[in-house]
Amino acid sequence: MKAIANGKFNLSLYVTGVVGGMHLLDGVMHSVSLGDELIVEESDRVRVTMLGAECPTERNTAYRAAILVRDRYGLSLDISIAKHIPVGGGMGGSSADAAGVLACAERMLAGRGVNADLSDIAAAVGSDVSFMMRGGCARVRGTGGDVTALPPMEFDALAIDCGAVDTAACYRTFDELALPFSSPTEGELLSPFNALRPAAERLNGRLRDCAETAKRLGVAVSMTGSGGCMFVISPPAGTADAFREAGFRCFPVRSAACGVVFV
């Protein structure tokens, strides 16, 4: 079974508090057309092969998702993942991979006559996985399990890879900088904002360089997730070339109406 697991942009991201050591978030996510390619087959044991990136097995969300599926349903999967979403870019690459595995597992189990609901596994594996399985556009709150669907949007955009930012380090830096908690009003949800940006910029100066390039070009740039990637909505002609000349990898993308696409 083949699938594309789409990445996402955080159109807005607020940090509203901390409970039990977990940061609570509120904001809007939207799927985009830059995705990882998965081939998932039934096997005698769980295996994950990564192409284009390396990830230790114990940290691989796709592997953890597959183990939970095996333990519950006795279905072992052989998974091959060709990475296209920038690693550590804040576009949800690892969560997308886990979502793709779970979506494929649901289809395989349905073929056995098992009506499987893997939403609890999605929530257990990673904070963005619940959204990434359904995709489109949604308001996502708390630790990622509170997902409220919103009407999908249509837009073209440019994703700009500024280099990886470690998510855990970004949240630690957020705390160290004593950045304020805040909650969006309904009117602010679709306005660009990312509470983690000052922390991510402290860890990765290329994000500031990207913002300076955007300012010079006269375009608005936003950061997705805990950083690594910035994005421009409706970029004018020549924007990608200008960022590439400044030394950034760029990916033209479109909005996507779903998280996982079967091919």
Closest among 250, 223, 83, 224 to 158, alpha carbons compared: 250
Distances in whole angstroms, Cα of residue 21 to Cα of each of 18, 168, 176: 6, 12, 14
Look at residue 54 in the predicted model and tell me its pLDDT: 79
Q: Are 16 and 195 in contact (CB under 8 A)?
A: no
Q: Are 165 and 204 in contact (CB under 8 A)?
A: yes
Residues 130 and 15 in one domain: yes
Give this prediction's pTM.
Answer: 0.95
**d(Cα 169, Cα 10) in Å, to the nearest integer?**
19
DSSP character for 228? Answer: S
H or E element: which one contains 206? helix 205-217
Residues 133 and 173 in one domain: no
Q: Are 192 and 234 in contact (CB under 8 A)?
A: no
Residues acting as catalytic residues:
8, 128
**List of residues 6+ apart from 247 with CB closer than 8 A:** none
Q: Are 221 and 200 in contact (CB under 8 A)?
A: no
Q: Are 89 and 161 in contact (CB under 8 A)?
A: yes
Residues 107 and 146 in one domain: yes
If DSSP codes are grouped into helix, strand and coil, which group holds residue 239?
Answer: helix
Look at residue 259 in the predicted model and tell me its pLDDT: 97
Q: Are 156 and 235 in contact (CB under 8 A)?
A: yes
Angle between helices 61-73 and 93-111 (to 10 degrees): 20
Number of domains in the chain: 2
Residues 174 and 236 in one domain: yes
Q: Model confidence over 152-170: pLDDT tens digits?
A: 999 999 999 999 999 999 9
Residues 31 and 81 in one domain: yes
Look at residue 127 in the predicted model and tell me its pLDDT: 87
Does the structure show a pLDDT above 80 at 57? no
Residues 144 and 106 in one domain: yes
Domain assignment of residue 21, given as a range = 2-151+257-262
Residues 61 and 187 in one domain: no
Q: What's the pLDDT band for 74 if we cut at 50, 70, 90?
A: very high
Residues 163 and 137 in one domain: no
